[in-house]
Amino acid sequence: MIHPIERKVLSENDRVAAGVRSRLEIVGTLTLNFIGSPGAGKTAFLERTLQLLPSGTSAAVLTGDIQTENDAIRLARHGFPVQQITTGGACHLDARMVESHLWEWRFKEFDYLFIENVGNLVCPTSYDLGEDGKVVVLSVAEGEDKPMKYPGIFRKAELMILNKVDLLPYVPFQPELACEYARTINPDIHIIQCSSLTGEGFGDWMAWLERRRIAKRHFSPNHEEAHLQTTFV
Amino acid sequence: MHEMGIACSILEAVERERIIHPGCRPTKVAVRIGRFAGVDGDSLQFCFDAMVAGSSQAPLELHVEAAENDELDIAWLELDELEAIQ
């Protein structure tokens, strides 16, 4: 007997991610999922971001790695709540890992939640974590053609951070070509060129972040009402 | 690259179906893999077979169908009706 199923393989992950998304919606937290190769500079980028957040901003970071607490230790120096997710071998984060770590914070209201995925351009692309958007981090120490080689993440990301531009004088990397490839895969992708070392480009990035957060609050009709409900229940 | 995780998700889905169809035993499951799904069919087959071998779900076959885009769907499940046990 053939029994039709017609369901996504990752439907269970998608179900958990939808739950995470609606809880984050209620507390109005802008959640971004950072995906990039190992060594693209995701942690340094987030460290600089945390340093530059205006005072009074609340933010939290979940950082994923196969082993070690090293990234959490680095990120925690900046005074924001951080949790390390060690996957113990899995090459990506999934929605259940994010959900269980957010329960540790009782789904507290933050302005921003940054999720640093495991360094990998392939697998993390397939797993919805309940985020508002994916940010792909590409560094100039890599090849310009990464967007063509790994189209999945460049297609799904709304923003590409072209990182480590301070190295441009020393490496044969053509930023225009990398941007062209990224736009070939995803014509709508927004691109910001940055250096976490010198701070170049962070003005644009911090402005983008603030705009994105305001847009989310503005366009999520349930936020104010849902927030009142959770506050007074 | 994450085919082992995908194989786990498929086996979990098969297990859920087995529970909601008492008296039936799943024998074959079909998945559709899009060209841009980031999943390699041969590698998935290898992981799936390795996980099924010796488990309570054996024998269970995986049937892989090629698809477009980034589809990654369980298409159907073949169920054998078991004889009622006295």
Residue B29: give its domain's CATH number.
Answer: 3.30.2320.50
| Cβ pair A153, A125 in contact under 8 A | yes
**Ramachandran angles phi, psi of A136, nearest 5°:** -100, 135
The ipTM is 0.84
Is residue B28, in this structure, part of any structural domain at all? yes
Report the residue from A6, A90, A151 with minimal CB separation from B5.
A90
- In which band, very low, low, confident or very high, does the pLDDT at A233 lie, cut at 50, 70 and 90? very low
The region that residue B54 occupies, defined by phi over 0 for left and psi between -120 and 50 for alpha, beta otherwise, is left
- In which band, very low, low, confident or very high, does the pLDDT at B37 lie, cut at 50, 70 and 90? confident
Sheet-wide strand order for A30-36: A82-86, A59-65, A112-116, A30-36, A133-139, A159-163, A190-193
Residue B13 has pLDDT above 80, yes or no: yes
pLDDT per position as a tens digit, B38-72:
899 999 999 999 999 989 999 999 999 999 888 99
Is residue B16, in this structure, part of any structural domain at all? yes
Taking the domain A11-223, which CATH number applies?
A: 3.40.50.300
Report the residue from B2, B74, B78 with minimal CB separation from A92.
B2
Number of domains in chain B: 1
Is residue B86, in this structure, part of any structural domain at all? no
Q: Tell me how far apart the alpha carbons of residues A58 and A30 are, in angstroms, rounded to a whole number.
A: 11
Domain extent at residue B72: 3-81
pLDDT at A170: 98
Cβ–Cβ contact A218 with B under 8 A: no
Is residue B22, in this structure, part of any structural domain at all? yes
User: Which range among A6-15, A162-171, A223-232 has the greatest average pLDDT?
Assistant: A162-171
Cβ–Cβ contact A206 with B under 8 A: no
Cβ–Cβ contact A122 with B under 8 A: yes
- In which band, very low, low, confident or very high, does the pLDDT at A223 lie, cut at 50, 70 and 90? low
Q: Up-side HSE of residue B58: CA atoms within 13 Å toward CB?
A: 8
- What percent of chain A shows pLDDT beyond 90? 88
A4 contacts B17? CB cut-off 8 A: no
Cβ–Cβ contact A90 with B under 8 A: yes
Can you tell me whether residue A215 is helix, strand or coil?
Answer: helix
Average pLDDT over residues A224-231: 51
pLDDT per position as a tens digit, A61-83:
999 999 999 999 999 999 999 99
pLDDT at B1: 67
Is residue B72, in this structure, part of any structural domain at all? yes
DSSP track, A108-136: ---SEEEEE--S-SSGGGG---S-SEEEE
| Cβ pair A30, A51 in contact under 8 A | no
pLDDT at A227: 52
pLDDT at A218: 74
Q: Tell me how far apart the alpha carbons of residues A201 and A6 are, in angstroms, rounded to a whole number.
A: 45
pLDDT at B83: 72
